Amino acid sequence: MQQQEMSHQMMGYDRTSAMFSPDGRLLQVEYAKEAVKQGSTAIGLVCKEGVLLVADKRVVDKLIVADSVEKIFQLDDHIGATATGFVMDARVLLEKAQVIVQQHRITYGVPMDVISLVKEICDIKQFFTQYGGARPFGVSVIIAGVDESPVLYVTDPTGIFFEYKATAIGEGEVEVKQILNKEYKEGISIDEGLKLAMNALKKVLGKDFDVRRIDGAYIKSDEKKFVRIDRKKMRV
């Protein structure tokens, strides 16, 4: 497989996202997905009262002001998101998402439903997988929000999306998903979900775990208001 990959590279099939390799692969898109696997870990949970997002900001330089590093983004009152991979890609993509929900609210006078926003973001991602002169977004995004009920979606660099009850993306994805599969239960409270997510990050990060590098937010179904979690509540 590795030899075949090298052969494809030498023949130039990875020079553009618009070129299929002979075995039907888009190598630039696959590279983007590999970039996501190297990003810092992010977790999303659907809880009894709403949705929860927890993410590792991976602040390793002591001179960096940790609060200046944003890993969880508010898109609207009732929608939040976190991303992993190339954070610069995420910033541009999620700022575009903020504009989309504002335009929808102004045009129609009502908040945008989460699935419509997810599809808009995925359309943008997919666009960059089929035209030359641009590279795919090297980022996966967890979008969480509350419509009639709390919902959680993950979009990957290909432009595809799935709905989850609980999930993780980034370098600790496999380990965290194993923990979630064992310990996550439907009807879990936000406090219980936060404890589960923090314990999962603690196991994944090991000696590098530090509550100062963790970001968190939740949206409750009855309030539909994005709330950042105080760091004191994150201590486990």
pLDDT tens figures, 150-169: 999 999 999 999 999 999 99
* Residue 163 within any structural domain of the chain: yes
CA 181 remoteness from chain centre: 19
| Domain assignment of residue 27, yes or no | no
Total number of domains in the chain:
1
In this structure, is residue 139 part of a structural domain? Answer: yes
> Tokens in use for 108?
């129609």
The domain of 138 spans: 40-234
Question: What's the full length of the chain, in residues?
Answer: 236
- What tokens appear for 231 in the block? 């760091």
Is residue 47 in a domain? yes
The pLDDT value given to residue 10: 47
pLDDT digits 0-9 by tens, 126-144: 999 888 778 899 999 999 9
What does the alpha-carbon distance between residue 225 and residue 182 come to, in Å, rounded to a whole number? 30
Rounded to the nearest 10 degrees, what angle do helices 114-127 and 87-108 cross at?
130
Question: Could you tell me if residue 3 is inside a domain?
Answer: no
Whether 15 maps to a domain, the answer reads no
Q: Does residue 64 belong to any structural domain of this protein?
A: yes
pLDDT of residue 44: 98
Spatial contact of 229 and 194, defined as CB atoms under 8 Å apart: yes
Is 30 among the domain residues?
no
Percent residues over pLDDT 90 in the chain: 72
pLDDT tens digits for range 163-200 = 999 999 999 999 999 999 999 999 999 999 999 999 99
Residues 54-111: tens digit of each pLDDT: 999 988 787 888 778 889 999 999 999 999 999 899 999 999 999 999 999 999 999 9
Q: What CATH number should be reported for the domain holding residue 118?
A: 3.60.20.10
